[in-house]
Every structure is written in structure tokens, then in C-alpha cells.
Amino acid sequence: MLQFTEWLSQTSFSLAIQTHEWVIPTVQSIHIAAIGVVLASIFMIDLRVLGLAGRDQSLLETTGRFGPWLSGALCILLTTGVLMVLGEPARELLAFSFWLKMFLVAFGTLVAAAFQMALRRNEPHWEISITKRATTKLLAVVTLLIWVFIVILGRLIAYDHVWGSWSHAPKA
Amino acid sequence: MDIAGILKSLESTSIATRIRESLLLFPMLESFHVIGLTMVFGTIAIIDLRLLGIASTHRPFTRIANDVLKWTWAAFVLTVITGALMFTTNAGVYFHNSYFRAKMLLLLLAGINMLVFELTAGRTVERWDKDPSAPLSGKAVAAISILLWIGVIFLGRWIGFTTTRAQFKEEPTDINIEDILPK
């Protein structure tokens, strides 16, 4: 991985990002704005599952309202994330925070996609019965906490040394 | 006490010292600042997009505001507390940072923008509550709001790149490279 990051950092695209100082903070700012869309979308869907908001809407209507914004923002996060990796390969790819974050992002996205598909596939009354189940409410809280932890891990990439020997990122 | 004195005494409070000396406290404050501000931005965007007639157009405006705004304020409080704590660790540097000042100005404008809404479209909300979008004044406030908050996010990130985090040093060095380099 170390050799790969060294090779990547010498590619012309990576060098272009490195030599233009404004690129990284700009890409990070767009990344943060997109996190806002993801967190708020997940939050509103979870509130609906918990019965704390949007009770005049069905669950399917709620995911229909926020789902496209959620997946759109996730695409922006992926794009800006890739740009950050290209701009600073060693800082990202050697960081423990980065890989734990990627694992949780994949997990969180799969859960959200599976939930949306199950909602679409089942009869309308199904959502009424599942929102009454304690496991569904627990799932809503756990997924929200996972996304919050993902944001913390994102910030910890800049402080990866807090993981001690688990981190291989160069000290900034 | 003059402003320099106030800033100095903020930096020397025990809580500021505690944060500077800790490995994890500052990153955690930053993380929860990001969580708070992204929630502020995301939930305000829900309101603004409704006013503009872009999303949730079939739901009455007041119902959405009722669902969302309490969380916006809760997130805003989290952002202010974590931001204020980070400020104390290096008050002098942040206070003189132009991006920090510009960010505070945009936050003030966002507040004024909200007041403008209350005094214009907000007053006649019963009349357009079920309409797919707000009257022109409401749309203008919503568009300005989204732009201001995106500006706040960008300026916030730039503060991080133009200030060095104050860190506890056991052996203070005489020369700080940051002071020699051109700003």
C-alpha cells in the first residue's frame, strides 16, 4: 500500500491537486455540505420510523422524498472523497480511520438500500407493522449512530495517530 | 479590559488548557462541530427547498417547519458550544483570522435573513401554507439562506487551513516557523 500511495502521489492528476492549494479545502467543503444532506435525510427517515416526525406521511412517501437526495449526496461524497484520496494518497490510504470509515460507509449504504427495497417490494400495510416492531426502531437508532461515527472517523483521518500502532499514516 | 486581554484570559482558562493538552478533545470538538453544522445545513435546506417549491411541495410548509426546526436549533446549539470551546484554545489567532471574521459576518446575515422572513412571508403563512412554494419574498430568503450556509461551510474549512492548532508544548521553542513564513 505504501508503494501504491507513492506511485499515486506522483501521477499527474495527483500532482495537479497538490500544486493548487485551494483544491483540497474546496473539495472538503463540498464533501461537508453533502454530509449535511446525507445526515439530514437519514435523520428524517429515522424520525419517521420512530414516529417522531412526518406522521402525516407514509414511510414509503418519506423515503421517496429523501431517498433520491440521499443517494445523490452519497455520489457527491464518493466523487469528492476520491479526489481527496488522489490529492493526499498517504494521508488517506494509510490511515486506520479511513478504512474503518469505508467499511462503515459500505455497511450503512447497504442497510439503507436494503430497507428501501424491502419497503418497495412489500404491501403498503407491511410498513405499518414493521414500524411497530422494536427491532426496526433499534435499527433506526443504530444506523443513525453509525453515520454519526462515520463523520467522526472522517475528521479523525487528520488525527490518525490517536489510533497508535494501528495507524500507518505519516504524521502531519 | 481590552479585547487583547479578554482573548488572553480566554486562552488561559482551565478548560482551554485542558483541551490543548488533550490528544482527543480537540478532534472530538471538531467532529461534533461538523455533525452539528451539517445537521443545521441539512435541515435548513429541507425548509429552504420547500419554500422554493423544489421538494416536499405537497406538504404544508408549517408541518415541515414543525417537524424540522426544533432539530435545527438543537444542532445549532451543539455547533455554537463546540465552536466556542475550540475558539478559547487559540482565541487570539481565531479572532484575527479574516476567514473567521467573514464566517461570523455570514452567520449574522443568516440571522437577519431569518428575521426578514418572519417580517415578510412568515406573517402571511396561512395564505400560502398549502401552496407548492412561498411568495417571492419567501423564495428570496430561502435562496439567500442556502447560499449563506454554504458560504459558512467553506469559510469554516478555510479557518482550519489558515490557523495552526494551538498545542501544548512541554519545551517551548523560541522560533515558530509559522511566524516567519509569509501569511
pLDDT tier at B172, thresholds 50, 70, 90: very low
pTM recorded for the entire structure: 0.91
Q: What is the pLDDT of residue A114?
A: 92
Q: What is the pLDDT of residue A126?
A: 84
ipTM: 0.93
Q: What is the pLDDT of residue B168?
A: 53
Rounded Cα distance, B101 and B97, in Å? 6
How big is the A-B interface in CB pairs under 8 Å? 85
User: Which residues in chain B touch residue A172, judged by CB atoms under 8 angstroms apart?
Assistant: none
User: Which residues in chain B touch residue A26, judged by CB atoms under 8 angstroms apart?
Assistant: 154
Q: Do B153 and A29 touch (CB under 8 A)?
A: yes
User: Which residues in chain B touch residue A69, judged by CB atoms under 8 angstroms apart?
Assistant: 55
Distances (CA, A) of B130 to A52, B56, B63: 22, 11, 10
pLDDT digits (tens, 9 = 90+) for A67-125: 999 999 999 999 999 999 999 999 999 999 999 999 999 999 999 999 989 988 888 88
pLDDT digits (tens, 9 = 90+) for B119-138: 999 999 999 999 999 999 99
In the three-class reduction of DSSP (H, G, I as helix; E, B as strand; rest coil), residue A172 is classed as coil
User: Which residues in chain A touch residue B37, judged by CB atoms under 8 angstroms apart?
Assistant: 32, 36
**What is the distance in angstroms between the Cα of B1 and the nearest Cα belonging to chain A?**
36
Rounded Cα distance, B146 and A129, in Å? 38
Tell me the pLDDT of chain B averaged across its residues: 92
**What is the distance in angstroms between the Cα of B93 and the nearest Cα belonging to chain A?**
19
**What is the distance in angstroms between the Cα of A156 and the nearest Cα belonging to chain B?**
7
Q: Do B39 and A41 touch (CB under 8 A)?
A: no
Comparing B174 with B73, the larger pLDDT belongs to: B73
Residue B67 at interface with chain A, using a CB cutoff of 8 Å: yes
B16 contacts B10 by C-beta, under 8 angstroms:
yes
Rounded Cα distance, B112 and B116, in Å? 6
pLDDT tier at B171, thresholds 50, 70, 90: very low
B94-99: average pLDDT: 96
Among A33, A43, A159, the residue with its CB nearest the CB of B41 is A33
A145, closest residue in chain B (CA to CA): B35
B153-176: average pLDDT: 74
Q: How far apart are the first and last CA of chain B?
A: 29
